[in-house]
Amino acid sequence: MSAVIAIDGSAGEGGGQVLRSSLALSILTGKELRIEKIRANRRRGGLLRQHLTGLRAAVAISGAEVEGDKLKSAEVTFRPGPVRPGEYSFAIGTAGSANLVLQTILPPLMLASGPSLLTLEGGTHNDKSPPFHYLRDAFLPQLARLGPKVEMQLDRWGFYPAGGGEISAEIVPSAEIGVLNLDERGALLGIDATAVVSALPPKIARRELRALGKTLDFAAEIVEVEDPRGPGNVLMVTVRHENVTEVFTGFGQKGVTAERVAGRVAAEVTDYLESEVPVGEHLADQLLIPMALAGKGSFVTGEPSLHTTTNMSVIQRFLDVEFTVERVSRRAWRISL
């Protein structure tokens, strides 16, 4: 075992992404991890249920020795073993994001010696985390171009605060990661909007789509989910170009009108279309580890967020790579290796 990698969990963005990336890279490199001040920049610091589930998932797929695996823990020591592909089930027990648990263990499993089948229970469509449709439609197609194939299925919707959702993921790994070059998005192929309501009146979805239509030209669909666990509403806009797909989401909240939800999503979509960059803010975060594992590549995005720059710093602690960020136009930056 090589020297311990010490990570300050409060550095930069200081959220759960620091923990997730550190765990994934620890398994991939075999390097022992010591992370302190976990999520210190958050109102409720330390390990919440979804972070603890991600940690225990990382332990399960690598046979790791771990210290600090308990709720609210701010310090974790993680000594990984070789990655072990197979069939796993992980349940958060709250509405915490099942997709973020997948994000923790996908990088090592996508380079494993055999396929894996995962069943993950928790939130599937949460604010402030990538929803199921985002991973399936925006990130995984880019990953497939680099080698690993991941098929995701939404078995049961799960909204905040009730949770109870379920996703499954079949991972067919690749022996290596191909080089990512995503500098142009290509021609616009189409824009689709889906308004989903669970245990709420369908008129909410109709109002969202009507408000969205004042700004965007799109193909629309309303999905009604029969979910007795609790209400939920998500508005999703999928923008498809030749080389990349982006997904933008807005979530209904008590006291927030359908028109306001639609307005926020429309503004994000419009900003992305006008920027002419292929990679949106959140996809930039997702692409960093695959690109770093290949050791070279580039993509063009908007001004890198603190989330993105923090993730780059974490990756550089584990891998012998150095990201370069270059401004190429008023609204475009190239991140490359």
> Same domain for 124 and 78?
no
- Please, what's the b/e burial string for 234-247 (b: 16 or more CB within 10 A of its CB; e: otherwise)? bbbbbbbbebbbbb
> Same domain for 47 and 74?
yes
- Strands 76-79 vs 65-67: parallel, antiparallel or unpaired: antiparallel
Residue-level pLDDT at 259: 97
Structural tokens at position 165: 């959702």
Give helix 281-294 / helix 16-29 axis angle, nearest 10°.
Answer: 20
**Interatomic CA distance for residues 246 and 272, integer angstroms:** 9
> Same domain for 208 and 168?
no
Q: pTM to 2 decimals? A: 0.95
In order of 54, 74, 78, 85, 310, the CA distances from 19 in angstroms are 9, 11, 11, 21, 11
Whether residue 152 lies inside any domain: the answer is yes
Give the residue from 112, 147, 176 where a domain finishes.
176
Catalytic residue list: 307
Give the residue from 234, 260, 275 where a domain finishes.
275
> Same domain for 55 and 136?
no
Taking only the tens place, the pLDDT of each residue in 142-200 is 999 999 999 999 999 999 888 899 999 999 999 999 999 999 999 999 999 999 999 99
> Same domain for 35 and 60?
yes
Residue-level pLDDT at 228: 64
Specify the CATH number for the domain of residue 144.
3.65.10.20
Range of the domain at 212: 188-275
Low-confidence ranges of the chain (pLDDT < 50): 1
Specify the CATH number for the domain of residue 206.
3.30.360.20
Distance of CA 55 to the CA centre of its chain: 16
> Same domain for 155 and 192?
no
Residue-level pLDDT at 1: 47
Specify the CATH number for the domain of residue 68.
3.30.110
Q: What domain count does the chain have? A: 3
In order of 8, 71, 203, 336, the CA distances from 64 in angstroms are 20, 18, 50, 32
Give the residue from 275, 296, 315 where a domain finishes.
275
Give me the amino acid identity at 251.
F
Residue-level pLDDT at 218: 93
Whether residue 302 lies inside any domain: the answer is no
270 CB contacts (<8 Å, ≥6 apart)?
215, 216
DSSP single-letter state for residue 283? H
In order of 13, 273, 302, the CA distances from 335 in angstroms are 18, 20, 10
- Strands 245-251 vs 188-198: parallel, antiparallel or unpaired: unpaired
